[in-house]
């Protein structure tokens, strides 16, 4: 094993610091991050946005396979509510299976929202949505 001198380690550290400063300068001050924001909360400080408000919700339908097996539970989805009030980039965080995940995604695609805002302007906001499936 070869020993690396402290001057080499310092040079590597300085190069990393220089790169970090240069990357930070590429972000204009006062502009929100390019990706979707999270909803403001104690656990999620600035930059953040107000929560989108659902205007219309489509009910998720049971799949035949889940109904036959009498499956109940919750599918957790993650998606982005765009400035257009529609959901984008939906993915399943907690699946239930038996076709219910697909039904939950299909229903969420039909939801409409009043977009979330930052400084009074609509912005894309990342949300987690729970869809419950209960046999009645």
Q: What is the number of structural domains in the chain?
A: 1
Output the pLDDT for position 111.
Answer: 97
For residue 74, count other CB atoms closer than 10 A to its CB: 13
The token duo for 89 is: 């980039």
User: Does 124 fall in a domain?
Assistant: yes
User: Does 24 fall in a domain?
Assistant: no
User: Does 45 fall in a domain?
Assistant: yes
What integer is the mean pLDDT of 124-129? Answer: 96
Q: pTM for this structure?
A: 0.73
List the domain range (segments joined by +) for residue 104: 32-133
What is the rounded distance in angstroms from the CA atom of residue 134 to the CA atom of residue 132?
Answer: 6
What is the rounded distance in angstroms from the CA atom of residue 70 to the CA atom of residue 86?
Answer: 31
| Per-residue confidence band for 136, with pLDDT thresholds at 50, 70 and 90 | confident
User: Does 129 fall in a domain?
Assistant: yes
Q: Give per-residue pLDDT as tens, 91-121.
A: 999 999 999 999 999 999 999 999 999 999 9
């Amino acid at each position: 094993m070869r020993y690396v001198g402290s001057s080499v380690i310092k040079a590597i550290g300085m190069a990393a610091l220089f790169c970090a400063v240069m990357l930070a300068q590429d972000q204009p001050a006062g502009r929100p991050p390019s990706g979707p924001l999270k909803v403001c909360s104690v656990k999620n400080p600035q930059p953040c946005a107000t929560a989108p408000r659902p205007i219309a919700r489509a009910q998720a339908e049971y799949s035949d396979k889940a109904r036959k097996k009498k499956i109940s539970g919750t599918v957790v989805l993650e998606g982005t509510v765009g400035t257009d009030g529609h959901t984008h980039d939906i993915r399943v965080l907690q699946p239930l299976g038996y076709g219910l995940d697909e039904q939950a995604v299909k229903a969420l695609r039909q939801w409409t929202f009043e977009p979330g805002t930052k400084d009074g302007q609509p912005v894309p906001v990342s949300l987690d949505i729970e869809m419950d499936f209960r046999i009645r």
